[in-house]
């Protein structure tokens, strides 16, 4: 079955960096685009970034553009989100999600909490 297992969350000071990982199994990882979506405490969902199945295209939300980098290693079946210059407002649970057929976000990771605090 499709599984997305996330790691890398934690507490970090403003201005510092953190990298999230999302390990995929149960499907051909190199055939699917992947997203990052976040949810601030008590708030709704906010799309962060997407990467094409082969890494050839990447798109970002304006709120993270120039600070976050989405990448993937298809040989390791793993998606990454490098978060630089973190701000207090980046505090959220970050989810990875598979980009399935018909542009559907069909499988989601369990989430990783990132807390930016001084």
Partner 1 sequence: DIVMTQTPLSSPVTLGQPASISCRSSQSLVHSDGDTYLSWLQQRPGQPPRLLIYKISNRFSGVPDRFSGSGAGTDFTLKISRVEAEDVGVYYCMQATQFPLTFGGGTRVEIK
Q: Which residues would be at the binding site for partner 1 (CB under 8 A)?
A: 35, 37, 44-47, 50, 59, 61-62, 95, 97, 102-111
**Positive or negative, the Cα torsion across 111, 115, 64, 57?**
negative
Nearest approach, Cβ of residue 95 and partner 1 (Å): 6
CB 71 within 8 A of CB 90: no
Nearest approach, Cβ of residue 59 and partner 1 (Å): 5
Nearest approach, Cβ of residue 103 and partner 1 (Å): 4
Nearest approach, Cβ of residue 56 and partner 1 (Å): 15
| Closer CB to partner 1, 28 or 110, in the complex | 110
| Closer CB to partner 1, 90 or 105, in the complex | 105
Q: DSSP label at 42?
A: T
| Closer CB to partner 1, 46 or 71, in the complex | 46
Burial class (CB in 10 A: 0-12, 13-18, 19+), 91: middle
CB 5 within 8 A of CB 23: yes
CB 4 within 8 A of CB 107: yes
């Amino acid at each position: 079955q499709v599984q997305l297992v996330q790691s890398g969350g934690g507490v970090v000071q403003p201005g510092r960096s953190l990298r999230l990982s999302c390990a995929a199994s149960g499907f051909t990882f190199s055939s699917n685009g992947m997203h990052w979506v976040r949810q601030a405490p008590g708030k709704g969902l906010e799309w962060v970034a997407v990467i094409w199945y082969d890494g050839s295209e990447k798109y970002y939300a304006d709120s993270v553009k120039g600070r976050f980098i989405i990448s993937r290693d298809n040989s390791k079946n793993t998606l990454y989100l490098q978060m630089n210059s973190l701000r207090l407002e980046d505090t959220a649970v970050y989810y990875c999600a598979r980009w399935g057929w018909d542009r559907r976000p069909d499988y989601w990771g369990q989430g990783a909490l990132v807390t930016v605090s001084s």
